Amino acid sequence: AQTVTQSQPEMSVQEAETVTLSCTYDTSESDYYLFWYKQPPSRQMILVIRQEAYKQQNATENRFSVNFQKAAKSFSLKISDSQLGDAAMYFCAYRSAQGAQKLVFGQGTRLTINP
């Protein structure tokens, strides 16, 4: 079974600075998808960014980018120019490309932005 690990329960960063959230996963599959979801205090789960395992190029969405290291099974999220609205829980998630389409989530990292 696939597992996702987020080793940083909490992180903090100064406003306008850059922060990197870590995620590792365990799988025997070669084709899969990785996601970062954001959960603000409203509890809504919001998709931040998605990475296809077959793509070597790291995904980027505005201030959000990932560092995908397939061999190391690592998928970190970098937030540049941090803003107060980025404060939230961030969840890393894995989904197989075949078979069950469920998302497997890590335990989450709580990100605090210091003004």
Partner 1 sequence: DSGVTQTPKHLITATGQRVTLRCSPRSGDLSVYWYQQSLDQGLQFLIQYYNGEERAKGNILERFSAQQFPDLHSELNLSSLELGDSALYFCASSVGSGGGSETQYFGPGTRLLVL
**Which residues make up the interface to partner 1 (CB under 8 A)?**
33, 35, 37, 42-47, 50, 52, 91, 95, 97-98, 100-108
- Least distance (Å) between residue 17 CB and partner 1: 28
- In the complex with partner 1, the residue whose CB is nearer, 16 or 97, is 97
Tokens of 55: 């793509």
- Rounded Cα gap, residues 98 and 107, in angstroms: 24
- In the complex with partner 1, the residue whose CB is nearer, 11 or 45, is 45
- In the complex with partner 1, the residue whose CB is nearer, 25 or 35, is 35
- Rounded Cα gap, residues 54 and 51, in angstroms: 9
- Least distance (Å) between residue 48 CB and partner 1: 11
Please tell me the number of Cα atoms within 13 Å of 90 on its side-chain side: 29
- Rounded Cα gap, residues 94 and 112, in angstroms: 24
- Least distance (Å) between residue 30 CB and partner 1: 15
The residue written with tokens 């995620």 in the block is 23
